[in-house]
Amino acid sequence: MKIAYFPGCSAESTARDMHASTIAVAKSLGIDLIEPEGWSCCGATAAHQTNPVLAAALPTANLLLAQQMKMDMVASCAACFNRLKSANHKVQSDSTMRKQVAEAVGQDYDGAVKVRHFLEVLFEDVGLDTIKAAIKRSLNGLKVACYYGCLMVRPHEVMNFDDPENPTSLDRLVEAMGGEALDWPHKVECCGGGLAMSRTDVVIKLTDGILQMAQNAGADCITVSCPMCQVNLDLRQKDIKKQMGRDYGMPIIYITQLLGLCLGNAPNDLGLDKLIVPPTNVIATMTQNG
């Protein structure tokens, strides 16, 4: 199957590992991801905090590329997924906005390109059974806290993804890979997202709460699907150690990295070396016998 794939800016910097593992998993499962030529930034949080028309116009420029390709648009980054889908919603539900966006972009757009998260493609197009059958190595009972964060699930009317308060897609995938998806209360709490640089104080406070809860639940690692969540939770463990003396040593690993490992992809093709807290315990659990 062919789908237009929107990597997002972080694919070229902080989330090279998310990008690499998405590509590797897609390849293993026969999904043909095609990068639209000339894709540009979705605007992220900065755009919608600054100008609502800009926030819809930047994703629209990209959605028009997918429309030309006559394909659905898939994103692995939860933030891009959110911005692309919100833009569709805006131009569809607000005719004034549609006009303003058309004026800004220089072309009218009807909001018709189907925007999907890579997880949805895994579930709907590939299917859990096929994935199970393709698995070469089990997670061997690895205890995984599945962390969804905000952007994938909220607002539900727009994202229409899973259950906004207790989503289970990551959990089901982890179970299919032979891991134990933990029941824990911080699945959809906020990590501070786009405040990563401008309000580190807030991010440290929020990530500390999430890490603590995962640790209390007995997690070996936290799995994520958003580059902002990944960086905040991974990078801030150092600051938390320095400021509060708590040393979590908790690997924060993309779901596509876990899946890639199970599908037999080489760790280097999955960007595992890019994680700040090394996933040593994950690999150890996967390689131990029975």
Partner 1 sequence: MTLQIKKGTSKKGLLAEIEKRTGVNLSACFQCKKCSSGCAVGDLVESPPSEIMRRLHLGAGDELLESDLIWTCASCETCSSRCPMGIDVAAVMDALRVLCLERSKAKVTPKVFNRAFLNSVKRHGRTYEMGMVTAYKFGTGAFMGDVDKFPMMLKKGKLSLLPSSGADKKTVKRIFKNLRQKKEGE
Give the separation between CA 221 and CA 80, rounded to whole angstroms.
24
Give the separation between CA 109 and CA 103, rounded to whole angstroms.
10
The yes or no reply on residue 249 touching partner 1 (CB under 8 A) is no
Closest to partner 1 by CB, 38 or 290: 38
Alpha helices in 106-246 (DSSP H): 118-120, 128-134, 156-159, 169-176, 200-216, 227-244
Residue from 134, 180, 205, 217 that binds partner 1 (CB under 8 A)? 205
Strand order in the sheet with 221-224: 180-181, 143-146, 221-224, 252-254
CB of 276 to partner 1, least distance (A): 7
The answer to whether 34 touches 91, Cβ cutoff 8 Å, is no
Q: Which residue has the tokens 């949080």?
A: 45
Closest to partner 1 by CB, 41 or 128: 41
- Chain positions 17 to 76 lying near partner 1, rule: CB under 8 A, are 37-41, 43-54, 57-58, 61
Stretch that binds partner 1, among 67-75, 140-148, 212-220, 273-281 (CB under 8 A): 273-281
Q: Which token pair is 125?
A: 């197009």
Closest to partner 1 by CB, 13 or 130: 13
CB of 38 to partner 1, least distance (A): 3
Task: Supply the DSSP string of 132-171, one letter for each residue.
Answer: HHH--S--TT-EEEE--TTTTTSSHHHH--S-SSS--HHH
Residue from 138, 140, 200, 215 that binds partner 1 (CB under 8 A)? 200
Residue from 91, 121, 190, 226 that binds partner 1 (CB under 8 A)? 190
- Chain positions 69 to 108 lying near partner 1, rule: CB under 8 A, are 94, 103-106
Closest to partner 1 by CB, 213 or 231: 231
Give the separation between CA 82 and CA 240, rounded to whole angstroms.
29
- Residues, the chain: 290
Closest to partner 1 by CB, 206 or 255: 206
Closest to partner 1 by CB, 142 or 190: 190
Name the β-bridge partners of 180.
Answer: 143
What is the contact surface with partner 1 in residues (CB under 8 A)? 9-10, 12-14, 16, 37-41, 43-54, 57-58, 61, 94, 103-106, 150, 154-156, 164, 188-190, 192-195, 197-200, 202, 205-206, 231, 235, 238, 273-274, 276
